[in-house]
């Protein structure tokens, strides 16, 4: 009986061919592209409500909650990172943003977010907006990181198809 089982499982493995990595990465990078596009549009829309001078001098309350993650900071560094490391970085970033309100030291500042249901007194509202804007900028940056890493991986996986790069 056990022998038969392994035979059938082997047979299943032979019949089900795996999806090529290039296809998976292509699909993933399409998703990250959309994600980054959305975050860009939203943060630009929010910035348009501030006076131009306010955008520039806006204080940063703290570091992004994902700052602790060591990511490459230019093209050369990025291309030197191995594929598995790039993939794990992308995955960690995505995981960090699955529920950002729980993560890191920024959690205290985020408590002032509009939807926390607190009192809307003038001063609070501005700080709420500032904090929310800050959160969005962190998200935009991280989504761009994820997008860039996946696209580099996709290009590496499709050596035969230069149009994918």
Partner 1 sequence: MRRDLRGALLLLLTAAVQSSSMSAPGKPVLLSCRSPEKETFTCWWEPGSDGGLPTTHHLYYERERLEGTYECPDYLSAGRNSCFFDKNHTSIWVDYYLTVMASNALGNATSDPFKMDVMEIVKPDAPENVTLRVEEREASPCLHVRWMPPSNTDTKSGWVTIKYELRVKKDNSNNWKEYTSGTQTHFSLYSVSPGGVYTVQVRCLLDHGEWSEWSNTTFVKISNYLQNERPLSMLISILSAILFIMAGLILIAKRKSVKQWVLPPVPGPKIRGINSQLLQSGGSDDVGNVLIIKQSFPPIYFVWEDQMEDYLIVTENEDWLSSNSQKRKKSLIPACFHFDSEIHSKESPCHKNDWEKDEEISQVDNNNKPFTNTGYVDFQRHVENVDVKHVDYSRVKEVKSDNILFLEKEKVQSSGYIHFQRQEGIPEDYSRVKEVESDNLVVLQKQNAADLSCKDEGNHYTDCALHKPRKPHVCTELSDSGYVDTIPAPPLM
Q: Which residues bind partner 1 (CB under 8 A)?
A: 33, 36-37, 40, 53, 55-58, 60, 71, 73-76, 78-79, 140-141, 144-145, 147-148, 151-156, 162-165
- With respect to partner 1, which residue has the nearer C-beta, 33 or 94? 33
Cα distance between residue 59 and residue 37, in whole Å: 25
Closest CB 58 distance from partner 1, rounded Å: 8
Q: How many CB atoms lie within 10 A of CB 97?
A: 18
Kindly state the DSSP code that residue 100 receives in the 8-state scheme. G
Closest CB 154 distance from partner 1, rounded Å: 6
- With respect to partner 1, which residue has the nearer C-beta, 58 or 87? 58
- 103, 65 in Cβ contact below 8 A? yes
Closest CB 54 distance from partner 1, rounded Å: 11
Cα distance between residue 28 and residue 99, in whole Å: 20
Closest CB 16 distance from partner 1, rounded Å: 29
- With respect to partner 1, which residue has the nearer C-beta, 100 or 147? 147
Cα distance between residue 142 and residue 20, in whole Å: 27
Cα distance between residue 29 and residue 34, in whole Å: 9
């Amino acid at each position: 009986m056990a022998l038969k089982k392994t035979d059938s499982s082997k047979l299943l493995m032979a019949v089900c061919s795996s999806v090529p990595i290039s296809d998976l990465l292509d699909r993933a990078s399409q998703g990250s592209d959309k994600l980054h596009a959305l975050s860009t549009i939203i943060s630009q829309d929010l910035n348009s409500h501030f006076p131009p001078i306010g955008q520039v001098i806006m204080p940063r309350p703290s570091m992004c909650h994902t700052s602790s993650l060591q990511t490459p900071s230019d093209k050369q560094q990025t291309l030197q990172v191995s594929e598995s490391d790039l993939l794990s970085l992308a995955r960690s970033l995505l995981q960090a943003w699955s529920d950002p309100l729980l993560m890191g030291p920024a959690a205290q500042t985020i408590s002032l977010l509009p939807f926390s249901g607190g009192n809307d007194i003038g001063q609070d509202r501005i700080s709420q907006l500032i904090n929310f804007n800050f959160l969005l900028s962190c998200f935009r940056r991280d989504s761009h990181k994820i997008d860039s890493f996946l696209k580099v991986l996709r290009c590496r996986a499709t050596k035969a198809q230069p149009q994918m790069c």
